[in-house]
Structure 1
């Protein structure tokens, strides 16, 4: 079983027949207060030992860079040409005592193809992760440009992650990343490619996959990726300049620089945290 710091045995659901209560085995809570940090670290080390590089993207990457997000599962990014190999390794007996494959999500999620990915669960533990191709995260591969957390988890560097949100026109994640990292306009001019427009070729390919995945499932609604064209420089300047405008009544500007950052607070990724 994967490492766990907390063991909670909830009561047996009342719907279970009395005869079944002896065999009922609820999932344990994952490590680090339920975050599953040590579990995903075990998975990453396993893949790296077998020659497959990876990095953590999605909600987890936003949390690492300071955004106030809630994680349901980890998004583990691998090179496009390594997805099949990684899935086979993670489904093998080499690690079957720790994880096992589970069905993908049954419905599509906004701005995501997570319902098409290989998905895994900790054995006897409430811990889930998916394998995401680098293309889908708009992360250049070969090799990944990563920054490791103090726990040892690999994340895309902040410029790589921020660039991906601009190129994908993922406005929500872009604003969350800006407000979590509290970067400036000048930072963007030095570290990002702000010329031209977002990557509509990427958008077209992602929407094609989404449409094909929905075919035959009878879904009434499919989440597609936004197809409008944006000027990256204008988008960047607009979103950085509006940091104060995203403050709410719970984050007054006399105390907060952004909705996620108290005045004078250190960069979150320089601090050791249970979540990353």
Structure 2
């Protein structure tokens, strides 16, 4: 996957006055979760979902392409527009447009990592650097860890969406999240969300693989790697 497809989509939406935030697998990669990219997931304001679809289609660079089969892993995308890039943008990839309310990220501007924090602290996870350069990451609108994590927890609490719970669990392991972080960032969350966060944190040692050689979490090898991840823009 190359960043050009994402930058083109974001430029088209931005020119039309539609704000977007990248969620899904790319956002998880950003926070040190190893995930294979299937669709680029874009959150836009709920009342702009149809406009975003139309705007990308009339550019001639994207065309609608429905998901052929649904399962427990992509059920949350049902009803959301999906597009594939045309042959003008190679290699082709697919985009799904999701509403900010479905991911508890409304209003979007409140939940996106500031450009200043990226430019002042260019520490990034290799999970995303393997796909996208540092300069390109700097230009992407990505969610703050607190917003992404609490949104996933809320989704699970409200809908019992196991995919959201798995993603929240992986964020705990990818960032070595702890109770102190939760006290700072989840003090406004519901009791159910805070209880889920505490459980996922308490279970971190259970998810360690004895054969991996990792000593911190199943995604973080040692304390030096943990300290580096905690310097990610958006972590605090």
Query: Fold-level match, TM-score > 0.5?
Result: yes
Q: By how many angstroms is 1:190 displaced?
A: 0.6
Quote the residue 2:35 is aligned against. 69
**Contact 2:12/2:55 (<8 A) preserved:** no
Q: By how many angstroms is 1:194 displaced?
A: 6.2
**Alignment of structure 1 residues 1-276 onto 2, 5 Å:** 35-92=1-58, 95-96=59-60, 98-110=61-73, 112-124=75-87, 125-141=91-107, 143-147=109-113, 150=134, 151=136, 152-169=139-156, 170-193=164-187, 196-197=190-191, 231-252=192-213, 255-263=214-222, 264-265=224-225, 266-267=228-229, 270=232
- CA 1:40–1:109 in 2, change beyond 3 Å: closer, same or farther? farther
Quote the residue 2:124 is aligned against. none
1:72 is paired with a residue whose SS is coil
Q: By how many angstroms is 1:244 displaced?
A: 1.8
2:201 is paired with a residue whose SS is helix
Root-mean-square deviation (CA), in Å?
2.3
Quote the residue 1:22 is aligned against. none
Quote the residue 1:220 is aligned against. none
Which structure has the bigger radius of gyration?
A: 1
Q: By how many angstroms is 1:108 displaced?
A: 4.5
Structure 2 regions of 5+ residues with no counterpart?
Answer: 119-133, 157-163
More helix by share: 2
- CA 1:50–1:103 in 2, change beyond 3 Å: closer, same or farther? same
